[in-house]
Every structure is written in C-alpha cells, then in structure tokens.
Amino acid sequence: MKQFQFNYETEENLVSMLKRIRQWCDSSVVSNVLFQIYSETLNKSLVENICNVIGREIPDALYMGTSTNGNIILGDKSKESISIVCTIFEYPSTHIKLFQFPLSEEEAREVTKSLIAFIRQNPWVKSIKTFTTMRGMSMTDFCDYLAELPKSIAFCGGGAFSEDMNESAAFVFSSEGPISDHATVFLLTGGDDYYVKTAHVTGWKPLGRYLEVTKARGAVLYELDHKPAYETYYRYLNIKNDENFFTNTLEFPFIYELNGMDILRAPIASNQDGSITMTADIAENVKARISYGDPWTILESVYNTAITFQDFIPQAFTVFSCAARRTFWGDEEVGNETMPFQSIAPTSGFYTSGEFLRSGRYVNQHNVTLVIVAEREGDIEGKEIPKVDMDTEVFSGKVSMISRLATFIQASTEELEEANRLLGKAAITDGLTRLINRTEIQHRITAIAKENQGLGSLGRVRQGDSLIMIDIDNFKHVNDTYGHKEGDIVLRKLSDMLKRVIDDLAPGSSIGRWGGEEFMILLPGVDIEKAKSVAEAFRTSFSEIDFPNAPHQTISLGATEMIAGELADISCMRADDALYEAKKTGKNKVVVH
C-alpha cells in the first residue's frame, strides 16, 4: 500500500501530481487506485473539475469525496481548502468497491439492505468506510440497520460538513455518482492480504452527578430531571443563552452509555423554550453526565491509543475527527492529537459533522470523537515496529488544575450519591429484619393494584398477583419466657428463611415487615395455587429452624389473589381475614381466601 497526500492549488499542479502518480503506477505492481477528495469549500464546479481531471489522467482510478469542516493531511490540519489522498493498493488479492446511494431517513432501510446483500455475496469484504450527508437527519435507524452487517466487518466513517459550522449545506460524491446533498458513499475493501484495525478517542471525562433524560425528541433535548435542559448549563456552569453558547459548552458535552460504550453529545444551540439542540439523537430515560475536556487528559488518551497501533504496523491511517475538536483546540494546536499517528504511518482524513464506528455488533454515531482507522497490505513478519513520536512530558507525571478539580468534584459527587442511596434505602428498610418496612410494602401493593385497574379499564387482566400474610404463633410467649433478645433472633431467622424460599420459588417478590411479628409478601405474576405452595414452603421451613434457647416455632399464613379493579386495601384485608381464620382454627396452617 502506497499513499500520495497533497493539497489542491491549481489545475496545473494537480495534473503534474497525477502524472507523477501514474508514472509510479506504471513502474510498480498495482491492483487498485483510489482517490479521496476532501473539500472545505462548497464550490461544486471546482470539485467536479478535479474529478474530471482525475478521470482523464488516471481513467481506471476510483474516487470518493466529501465536503468538510477542514482537512487532515500528513497528520495535521491542512491550510488549503481542498486536499487529495491517493491510495495505491499493491496486492493482487486486494479488492475495493464503491457504492453511492441517495439517502434520507425513509431510504435508509433500502440502502443498508442493498449493501448487506452485496456483502453476503462477496465474503472478501473486511472493512467499510462511509462519507455521508447527515445534517438535519436522524441517523439512529441508519446505524441500527448497519448493525446487521456480518460481525467480522469493520465499519467507520464521517458526516459531510462545511467550513461554516452554521451552514447546513454539505455534499458527498464519488466515481459512482454525482455531487449530492443527500447521499451516502461506501468504500468496501478486503482480500486475503488486507488488514484493518479501528479505535476511537474521546478524552473527555464525566463530571458531577447523573442526570436523567426525561424528555427528548431526536436531536432536541427538552428536559433533564424534568427541568428544561438549558438550566443545567446555566445552573452548574453559568453558561448563558447567547451567541457564545456553542463555544462555551464545547468543553462540556454530555456523556452517556449507548450499546455498552460511552458516547458524547455536544449542544449546538439553546432554544427559547429551554430545550437544547444536540449534535445527534439522544434517547429518553438514559442517564447522562456533563463531561469536561482537558488538553492534558485528551493528549494522554491519544498517546495510549496510538501505541496500540504500533504492533499492527499500519501503512496508512484515516482519521474522522469531530469539527468540535477542531474548535476546541484551534487550528494551530489541533494537529497535536493527530500527528502522533503520522509518526507511525501516513495520516489523512477530515473534520466531520459526526463520526461512525462499529464496536462489537453495534454501529454508533459519535460526536466530539476521534475515530482512527489503520490499514495495511501483507504480513508484518520481519518488519520493524514503529514508535509513537510524541512529547509525553506534557502529561506524564503531571495533573492539570482542571483535572484535579474535576477529580475532587467527581469523588465528592460519588460520596454524596452513595450517602443519598443509603439514606433512601434506610427510609424503606426495617431496622431489625433488614426487610422492607410496612410503608414500602404497602406502596408496592398499591402500585400493582393501580396497574391492574388500568388493565381492567382496557378489558385485559394481568396474570395473577398474590399476597401472603404471616403471623408467628404464640410470639408473646417467646418474649415473656425467653426474653426479647431471643424474640429478635426468631424474627431475624424467619426473615432470612423467607428470603431463601422466595429466591428459590418466586424470585422478584417483595417481603415486608407488616408490624411486630406480622409479615406481608407480594408475589407479582404468581397465581393463588402457586402462592399456596410458596406459603406451605414457608410454614414447613420455619417449623424446622433451631433457636438458641426457644423451642421450634410455627407460623400461621393467609393467602389471597388480588382481583383486577379492586383497591389495594381490600386485597390486604382479605389476606388478613385468611390469616385470622388460620389462627382461629388451630394455627400452624395456610388458609386461602
């Protein structure tokens, strides 16, 4: 694999460079020639002319391209508006194939079906790169459909953009289709001697407590913890809703877990209703945290990722970097996070409106992320392992002030969350038995009853829910004869037994101390016949327990099945009546009402 990376200056210079490439190809073994064209300008006629010149000078070459927020060439941000990368594949076994499809949310299913159908018929495919338009479009379904690709295939890419981040226009193009504002281009590469490896870098770290996304639609985040989303940025970071909102929030995107990995979503605008428009879709009911960007931490993440590629001995890197990272660093320093890859192998790419990367079986859309793709042809036996050239003194052995403060805030937040968790648990827990208390078991019974009422109004009924009420027989005699300490042991051993039996016979049930020596068990989805057998298991198991001083004890039990439409109190009273009958008619028995 051989690469030529250069900037477009004039047509004359382009022709000169193409003749040089053709000359090299004529003197070498070549299987495929691919041009990747990155254009920071939206001048379509200029781009079309470049494509025509390539087609004229090297007719067998394929090309693909995209509009960008900036181009990466030789590992750094290019100062020119158009950059061109020519990749020459040298092994006869290496295959490449280009597709270009029109793309909209409605067309995403058919596009991915066509792609997958081709791959199933061509098992040589090992990797897919995409340049795709995505501005104003939800890419969630697109990513979900792409997850159906064979698991062995690497998938990565970037969203088309423009020099002006506020500009919605963007395009992609290829030798298989025209310049299009609504399209996707796929490059399929593979073969026995082709190898690929992917990775991603964020470097942004979570900060503060979790916030629940309580209302969101597509890329618009309406509420966090049932409050307007903008309030989070104003309250915690004092970021105002003005023309600097995007710039000020750039260091603090949201981070949340999606498909088992951390995903960043950056705000791009704050709206009048207090909602925030994000760079991509964010789902409801997920837990998100504000994250922070610290240059030292980011560079350390870049270094740690770069060294993982050393043993792969790549021949070329393609980088898809979020335009937000370019803004974060500024044009003079943004190369700090891409030049380490250039020290291993030629590195090119562009600044995107969103990044795509497959991790496991899922294809995820990223933001504020650096996606890195390494490629090579041939094995690495006998080849020298390259070293990452990077000044590690910037972060080695040092911790920046913002990192220290963030660590302090995060540790304090975690301690507070744990204290609140323990307080919340204590509020619903019985101190002696460690079961839930009466207030909590009543709350859960009421919730099931209300759910049954709702289903009843729809003409449907849940599979049975049952209650079991328990009372220790002659418990006053235990306290009076053997002391309250022995009585407490009886209560705790009964509680432990109830938990063991429930785990075996009815997992997911709730056990609560009703008061004194009385207990209530809620068995969701358990009909009365199963509840009766559980109650019998309670009864026989308790009668076999040994106590330090007191003799064996017994319990009486009342069981009932909750009826759709009735109040929780009525169900509890029926269980209580059954228990009363068990006590009245001899104790140590189960009665069902």
Q: Catalogue the active-site residues.
A: 517
Q: Are the CB atoms for 291 and 304 separated by under 8 Å?
A: no
Alpha carbon distance 544, 536 (integer Å): 13
Alpha carbon distance 491, 404 (integer Å): 49
Q: Kindly state the tokens that stand for 281.
A: 């879709």
Alpha carbon distance 347, 17 (integer Å): 19
Q: Are the CB atoms for 592 and 467 separated by under 8 Å?
A: no
Beta-ladder partners of 269: 277
Give the three-state DSSP class for 344: coil
Burial class from Cβ neighbours inside 10 Å (0-12, 13-18, 19+) for residue 462 reads middle
Alpha carbon distance 411, 107 (integer Å): 47
Q: What is the Rg, in whole angstroms, of the alpha carbon atoms belonging to the chain?
A: 33
Q: Kindly state the tokens that stand for 448.
A: 């099931």
Alpha carbon distance 54, 48 (integer Å): 10
Beta strand 555-561 pairing with 590-592: parallel
Query: Which of 542, 570, 571 lies closest to 556 in space, CA to CA?
Result: 542
Measured in degrees and rounded to the nearest 5, phi and psi for residue 100 equal: -130, 125
Phi-psi region of 483 (alpha: psi -120 to 50; beta: other; left: phi over 0): left
Burial class from Cβ neighbours inside 10 Å (0-12, 13-18, 19+) for residue 423 reads exposed
Beta strand 347-352 pairing with 316-322: parallel
Q: What are the start-end ranges of the E strands in 304-453?
A: 316-322, 347-352, 355-359, 362-366, 370-377
Enumerate residues 6+ apart whose C-beta is below 8 A from 422: none
Distances (CA, A) of 150 to 122, 127, 192, 361: 12, 11, 17, 8
Q: What are the start-end ranges of the E strands in 391-543?
A: 466-472, 510-515, 518-523
Sheet with strand 362-366: strands edge to edge: 95-102, 183-190, 125-132, 154-159, 355-359, 362-366
Alpha carbon distance 320, 249 (integer Å): 21
Q: Compute how many other C-beta atoms are within 10 angstroms of the C-beta atom of residue 435.
A: 26
Mind spelling out the 3-state secondary structure of 1-67? Answer: CEEEEEECCCHHHHHHHHHHHHHHHHCCCCCEEEEEEEECCCCHHHHHHHHHHHHHHCCCCEEEEEE
